[in-house]
Each structure stands twice: as C-alpha cells, then as structure tokens.
Structure 1
Amino acid sequence: MAASAARRPSSPGRGRLSIGQVLAMLRDEFPDLSHSKLHYLESEGLISPERTASGYRKYSSTDIDRLLFILRAQRDRFWPLKVIKEHLLEHGVDSDVTSIASRPGPTSTIQAVRLDRRGLAQRAGVDEEFLVELEQYGMLAEGLLFYGAAELEITTAARELAAEGLHPRHLVMLRTSAEREAHMIGSVARPRSRAGDSAAQGGAEDFARDLGESMITLHSALLRTRLRGG
C-alpha cells in the first residue's frame, strides 16, 4: 500500500475528507470528476466511504487510494468497471495500473495537462496561425483560457497530418463525424440519467464513455480494413 500512498495527491489535512475535499484534491488530475461519478462508484460497490451521523460521506486514505486506482484504470487502460471490480477483488490496489499487461486496453497513458495558449503551441510544435486555423474549422473551441490533454492531442495530430498535406480544412469531415457519433451516444445514454439521481447520472457518464471507446475501436478496425483494401 506504500506505493499507492506515494502516488496519492497531498490531502488538505489529516483525517477523513468530505466529498468536496476529495473533488478539490483530485481536480488537477481528473478535472471532470463529479459528485455524481463518486455516487455511482459507491452504488456499484467500488468505493465505500463512511457516513457521519448526519449522513455525510467521509473518505479515508484507503478510499482515496482505491478511487485513484479506479479512475486511472479507466483513463489509462480503458478498463470497464466490471474488470476493475474483478481486479480489486483479486489484487486490491497494490499493483500499478499501467504495468498490468494481462488486462485489455491500450498501452499508452494520457497524462493530465493544463496549458495556456502559448504552452499549447509550444508542446504541439505549432504557431499561433495554426491554432487560429484549427479554431476556424472547429477543431478547437474558441475563447478557451486553458487547454487539456484532448486539445493537445488534437493539435499534435493535426500538425502531423498537415505536414503530409492534410490541412485542417481537409479534416472537417472527421470533426462532423465525431459530432454525429457523440450525438448518437448521447441519445442512447441520456435515458439512463434520471433527474435528481446522482448515481444514475454517474452511471450514464460511464456508459457513454464505454460506448465511445467501442466506437473508437470499431472505427479503427474499419479504417485498417479499408487501408488493406478490404
């Protein structure tokens, strides 16, 4: 457990943390983490925070280690919750997520980043004019103060394609395809999210994410088939 504790972000103080403190502590690494996500993981039996006499949740250091393992397994290995739950039952949280080769999922990891506009340009190896072009064709949202890992991936990939003659104006079809797929996923996942039920909302978010990963897998397989002339 010592290795897990070493990887845990510093807590605001000793003792158990409220749900708000947990979200604040993990915000840099998991900016999309929400109350509903934590409630859903609890409803699925993946985490079990204690309750005060007033019913408020309190998270221990063990809860935080377990939560970090779950979130990193989803992000870095794309494990579904069923696989994560099985692994936790068998091994606990002592093993490093990215070192486990026996489970399915990509080998690359996505690190949390927070970049200003200049930092994005520097990390992706592009200039301001290229960022403006990406915004013009809807690849990047306009007016952002900070950019994350997704924007860095988009900009880097677009730069590599542009170097081969495929400029942002040629990639609009990819953007519109992604928008249609997101709309399709939303139409399927939305009915699972019941108003006022935070656990159901968190479940819908995970369900949408799993659908998205399946679509990415299908798209990649179809593209490889076409490139082989199939």
Structure 2
Amino acid sequence: MKQKLSSPSFADLFLGQRKVKQTFFSQINTVIDWAPIRAIIEVAYTKGYKSTGRPSYDSLVLFKIELLRTWYGLSEGEVEDQVNDRLSFSRFAGLGMEDIVPDSTTVCRFRNILVEADLYDTLLAEFNRQLEAKGIIVKRGAIVDASITNTPRRPRGGKSYEVVEDRKEDENIEASEKAMLKEVVKPNVDTEARWVKKMGKLHFGYKRHTVTDENGMVLAEETTAANESDMKHLE
C-alpha cells in the first residue's frame, strides 16, 4: 500500500487561489503523460509496506523529486530541504502542505533501485522523448558536466600490507617480494571510490556525469569513480 497524499488543506486552497504565472514546472506537468513513466518505474519499484510498517511513497512523487535533484545539481539531502522549503518544488512533486516530504535516504534508495534494474536511463529517455515530441527540447548538441561528490569513508594514513605467501629460494627476489605483499583494505573505507585531483585539491569519492542539451535539460546521468575520464561519457 502506497502512502496516501493528504486532502487539500485550507493553506493549499488559499495558495491555489493566488494568480501564479505559468511556470516551467506547471508546463512540464501539463505536457507529460505520466502513465508510461509510472509503468516503467513500477517494474522495479514495488509499492507496499516497509519493514517499519510505514507505507511507501507514490512512485511519481519520488521520480519528480529525482528530476528536481538532477535539474538543480542537488544532493539527496539538499533536494529534501528544497522540497520542504520551496512551494514550487513541493507542488511539482505532488505534495500538499501537510504531506511529509521523503527523506534523503528514501530518495537515494529509490534511485538505486532504478539504477540496479537498468531503468534509470530508460526513464530519462522516455521523459525526454515526450519533451522532444512537444518541441520543448531539441537534440542539436549535448553538454557533459562532471561534479565531484566526496565520501566520508576515505582511507586514513599510509597504506599497510600483509604477507600472502612464502618466498622460495629459486625465485626472483624482486618479483617474489611483490608477490608476498598484499595491500590491506582498512575497515569502513569505500572500496569503490577513487582519488582525483581537481583545482589543486585532492578528492576521494565519485564523479557525477550529467548530459544536458543546449537548454540545460538533463538527457542522461551516470555516477562513476572520481578518477573516470569525462571524455568517455561524451559518447
């Protein structure tokens, strides 16, 4: 069972009477047919009660929050704060004044489910296909922007090694010494993150590659280790 959105409150009705200029968000909600997008999401995102007994969020609410995150280059925590603080964001996501905004962990878990099911790019492709059909975006060119996300689980101190096998008398000494030593991965270190130097500073974490069209609309997004080359993602 998915979480039910609250009925419009007095505040929602009052704010709804304000004459608000047609915005980008309202245009998107008008031109997009969300039914095929929901169908793609729900191949992997199964609605129902969580282990805590709380109902899950509607799939489109989470997808719209994920769109806001990619459009504005926000982290999961930042997009949670923005949806809480900005009326335009919460309206676009389909949340009323009394609805609880999904927390950063929920948003991150939702995206990971889509990525692991190979549906994330499919969703962006369907979303952008509809926008292109309406003439909102035109694929004349693409821009790749890369941003670094640091991880707190970085290695501390120097490398340490352990002996993995004994050296035999007739083996090459140098080759044998290399074979004898194995780098020890320290506990709580993110083994998938990598070091990269940017603007003279070292960063340990990941690189988010975002492909946008000439108008800034997100066409695709991929997260890799921080040492990945940007050029690979121009294809």
Asked if these proteins are the same fold (TM beyond 0.5), I'd say no
Higher strand share: 2
More helix per residue: 1
Give TM-score scaled by structure 1 length: 0.25
Larger CA Rg, structure 1 vs 2 = 2
